[in-house]
Amino acid sequence: MYGKFQTYLQNELRAIEGAGLYKKERIIASPQGAEITLEDGSKALNFCANNYLGLADSERLVAAAEKAMKQRGYGMSSVRFICGTQDLHRQLEKAVAAYFHTDDAILYAACFDANGGVFEPLLTAEDAIISDSLNHASIIDGVRLCKAQRFRYANADMADLEEKLKEAQSCRFRIIVTDGVFSMDGNVAPMDKICDLAEKYDAMVMVDESHSAGVVGATGHGVAEQFGVYGRIDIFTGTLGKAFGGAVGGFTTGRQEIIDMLRQRSRPYLFSNSIPPMIAAAGIEMFKMLGESDELHARLQENVNHFRDKMLAAGFDIKPTQSAICAVMLYDAPLSQKFAAKMAQEGIFVTGFYYPVVPKGQARIRVQLSAAHKKEHLDKAIAAFIKVGKELGVI
């Protein structure tokens, strides 16, 4: 059998390569950070990690993880409800809930699992999920695993959301689901308007804070802080793999009964291993750090402003950046690939995206800023953008 299947796979892989969509991995031989060393010893400045607060190589988090590993061992070898819960797991869940001003939280191995396991235990075929068209793949998969009726509204389009809410009025329960920050444009979901519509049409609200927590809001506490909608969002999901340290782990946080039900019925929670004690301990330390000072968030904000202002002054066309994601618009797919390759030659890692990852004719370079970037890193990246931009006739 495998011979025929192998031929089929080889053809598919060739087609992926032919379409220019084959994903190659950069091999890093240093900690994640603003400056990274590659396998061949060369160095680069990294502008494509989700390391928004620069915590991926934090000495304080490494020390917390080390200490917990020595005291509590390497792993749990169990799901949470059998014998995989240490006090550290509960402490981290309490820290998540405190950060988001919610009742309680539940940990998962990843936010992919949090989103995969949130809908099916809560909703049935009588209910409606009304989802932003640009929501993350894990939300899309989670919705697929649930029997609720599906409605999709155009990205952050409140008129379209209202239409879909009207269409869903006959359902028993309704929930609006959105990313907090959308990863391609870096735009923020208009949570105040979403909450208003939710109240008008009797719907619940869920937001995935993966790219927004630690980043948006006056002190970086995410979209509820930014829009002043604490108490009006029923469910938050998020990751420990981006701003919150960059290791691994996800969570759902929100109303008590929702979290209680997920602990009883959510399949990725019930049937997948507990996160290791060192990750839980480092997560607790991370929330403690963020509670002591919002210095990292302030530095991130300064870096975003500096980068955006200098890029606009240089003549680049960039999406109005409201987050740590800055989309430098090129519109042309081959140009975006050539641009990213030339930036890499300059020692700057950025990512070129084009259709089908973004709409046709919307090719771009995505730049992700971090509190770890020093001013000279930003200025080196901007200088490289200007050099390559001139070479390729973009500016």
Binding of ligand PLP at residue 210 (CB under 6 A)? yes
In whole angstroms, the minimum distance from the beta carbon of 12 to ligand PLP comes to: 25
Q: Which one of residues 54, 241, 245, 277 is an interface residue with ligand PLP (CB under 6 A)? A: 241
Quick note: the x/- pattern for ligand PLP over 338-377, rule CB under 6 A, is ----------------------------------------
Q: Are 364 and 379 in contact (CB under 8 A)?
A: no
Segment near ligand PLP (CB under 6 A); pick from 164-172, 208-216, 291-299, 357-365: 208-216
Residue 32 to residue 38: CA distance in whole angstroms:
11
In whole angstroms, the minimum distance from the beta carbon of 40 to ligand PLP comes to: 27
Active site residue 306: no
Binding of ligand PLP at residue 183 (CB under 6 A)? yes
- H helices of 250-367, in order, are 256-265, 267-270, 277-292, 295-313, 333-345
Residue 395 to residue 302: CA distance in whole angstroms:
25
Q: Which is nearer to ligand PLP, 174 or 211 (CB)?
A: 211
Segment near ligand PLP (CB under 6 A); pick from 73-81, 168-176, 206-214, 266-274: 206-214
Binding of ligand PLP at residue 294 (CB under 6 A)? no
Active site residue 370: no
Strand order in the sheet with 149-153: 104-108, 250-254, 235-239, 204-208, 174-179, 128-132, 149-153
Quick note: the x/- pattern for ligand PLP over 16-55, rule CB under 6 A, is ----------------------------------------
Report in angstroms the alpha-carbon separations of 188 from 130, 165, 281, 286, 320.
18, 21, 30, 24, 10
Residue 29 to residue 51: CA distance in whole angstroms:
17
Size of the site for ligand PLP (CB under 6 A): 14
In whole angstroms, the minimum distance from the beta carbon of 182 to ligand PLP comes to: 8
Q: Which is nearer to ligand PLP, 106 or 311 (CB)?
A: 106
Quick note: the x/- pattern for ligand PLP over 105-144, rule CB under 6 A, is -----xxx--x--------------------x-x------
In whole angstroms, the minimum distance from the beta carbon of 111 to ligand PLP comes to: 3
Residue 72 to residue 278: CA distance in whole angstroms:
8
Binding of ligand PLP at residue 321 (CB under 6 A)? no
Q: What beta strand segments (E) does the chain contain?
A: 35-37, 43-46, 104-108, 128-132, 149-153, 174-179, 204-208, 235-239, 250-254, 325-331, 348-349, 351-353, 363-368
Compute the CA torsion angle 253, 256, 260, 265 (nearest 10 deg).
-60
Q: Which one of residues 93, 104, 132, 179 is an interface residue with ligand PLP (CB under 6 A)? A: 179
Composition of the chain by helix, strand, coil, percent to 5? 40, 15, 40
- Give the Cβ contact number of residue 360 at 10 Å: 10
Three-class SS state of 29: coil
Q: Which is nearer to ligand PLP, 36 or 111 (CB)?
A: 111
- Max alpha carbon distance in the chain (Å)? 61
Binding of ligand PLP at residue 185 (CB under 6 A)? no
Reading phi first (left if > 0) and then psi (alpha if -120 to 50, else beta), residue 222 is in left
Q: Which is nearer to ligand PLP, 210 or 336 (CB)?
A: 210
In whole angstroms, the minimum distance from the beta carbon of 141 to ligand PLP comes to: 10
Question: Which residue out of 89, 136, 164, 211 is catalytically annotated?
Answer: 211
Active site residue 183: yes
Q: Which two tokens stand for residue 61?
A: 């988090």
Question: Which residue out of 58, 131, 138, 183 is catalytically annotated?
Answer: 183
Q: Which one of residues 80, 174, 211, 377 is an interface residue with ligand PLP (CB under 6 A)? A: 211
Q: Which two tokens stand for residue 221?
A: 């506490």
Segment near ligand PLP (CB under 6 A); pick from 39-47, 157-165, 205-213, 314-322: 205-213
Q: Which is nearer to ligand PLP, 211 or 373 (CB)?
A: 211
In whole angstroms, the minimum distance from the beta carbon of 50 to ligand PLP comes to: 7
How distant is the alpha carbon of residue 289 from its chain centre? 20
Point out which residues bind ligand PLP (CB under 6 A).
110-112, 115, 136, 138, 179, 183, 208, 210-211, 239, 241, 250
**Residues carrying an active site annotation:** 183, 211, 242
